[in-house]
Chains A and B, each alone.
Chain A
Amino acid sequence: MAKKKMAIIAAQGSLDWAYPPFILASTAAAMDMEVKIFFTFYGLPLLKHKIKAKVTPAANPAMPMKMPFGPKAFQAIDWPIPHAVSGVVPGFDSLATSLMKKQFKNKGVATVTELREMCLALGVDLIACQMTMDVFGFEEKDFVEGVSFAGAAAFLDFAAEADIQLMC
């Protein structure tokens, strides 16, 4: 049986959106699929040595604001943070980011960096969009080892034959 193929476009660079492409890609690779992720626009920094992605609660009205510590009833509270606070108070995004990281760690979710390492170990092709690199001024040395470099046509040539195509 020919290998199934999956093509993903990762175009977003916030912490919450950093997970889906790496989770889906590592799972698909574990299921013996050939996987390529095309990192373009704001998705591109996810290939840098250090991932600095953050969440922005002000731009995500549906995001639950919960505390990853304390008694169970306390942790269950979804804090109603006014937009005027989440969108204006300095450091709020950093606070929300560290809370999300703690929450994910408590629940046994791998970090984005760990998921990326697993993807590389499983043979997932992480492709940096050449055009975005030029626009934002990134160089090949800015990215982790194992990343490949291509443009839209090269990626679409693979995607055209893929069984699953997703945009994250």
Chain B
Amino acid sequence: MSHNDEIDCSGMSCPLPVVKSKMKIDTMNPGEVLKIITTDPGSCKDIPAWANRVGHEMIEEAEENGKYYFLVKRGE
């Protein structure tokens, strides 16, 4: 699936992936998709929890070569 913007949080620990993703998605329009890349294992649960709490839609979660990928669609 395609995305409109991307943020690479590789090497960052809690709470940076969530905080940086929030700041990034705030610059986007509702309905647009943000791709988030992380290496922090904690972010596997943190990113979905954040998205769910603030009303963004988790479209995809994947892991590849020690990196985690998330596609989050911005809510209203």
* A interface, CB within 8 angstroms of B: 23, 26-27, 29-32, 107-110, 115, 118, 121-122
B13 within 8 A of A: yes
A-B contact pairs, 26 of them (CB 8 A): A26-B15, A26-B19, A27-B15, A27-B18, A27-B19, A27-B50, A29-B22, A30-B22, A30-B23, A30-B50, A31-B18, A31-B22, A31-B50, A31-B54, A32-B53, A32-B54, A108-B11, A108-B12, A108-B13, A108-B40, A110-B12, A110-B13, A110-B15, A110-B16, A121-B23, A122-B23
Q: How far is the CA of A109 from the CA of B18 in the complex (A)?
A: 13
CB-CB contacts of B1-40 with A at 8 A, as 1s and 0s?
A: 0000000000111111011011100000000000000001
List the B side residues contacting A108 at CB < 8 Å: 11-13, 16, 40
List the B side residues contacting A121 at CB < 8 Å: 23
CB-CB contacts of B40-51 with A at 8 A, as 1s and 0s?
A: 100000000010
Extra A-B contacts (4), CB below 8 Å, given A30-B18, A31-B53:
A30-B15, A30-B19, A31-B50, A110-B12
* Given A30-B22, A118-B19, A122-B22: A23 and B54 interface contact (C-beta under 8 Å): no
What 3 pairs across the A-B complex have the smallest Cβ distances?
A30-B22, A27-B15, A108-B13
* CB <8 Å contact, B13 and A109: yes
Chain A: CB-nearest residue to B12:
A108
Chain B: CB-nearest residue to A32:
B54
* CB <8 Å contact, B11 and A23: no
List the A side residues contacting B50 at CB < 8 Å: 27, 30-31
List the A side residues contacting B23 at CB < 8 Å: 30, 121-122
- Which interface residue of A27, A29, A115, A122 has the most chain B CB atoms within 10 A? A27
Q: How far is the CA of A121 from the CA of B4 in the complex (A)?
A: 24
B56 → chain A closest CB, angstroms: 10
List the A side residues contacting B40 at CB < 8 Å: 108
* CB <8 Å contact, B18 and A23: no
A35 → chain B closest CB, angstroms: 12
List the B side residues contacting A29 at CB < 8 Å: 22
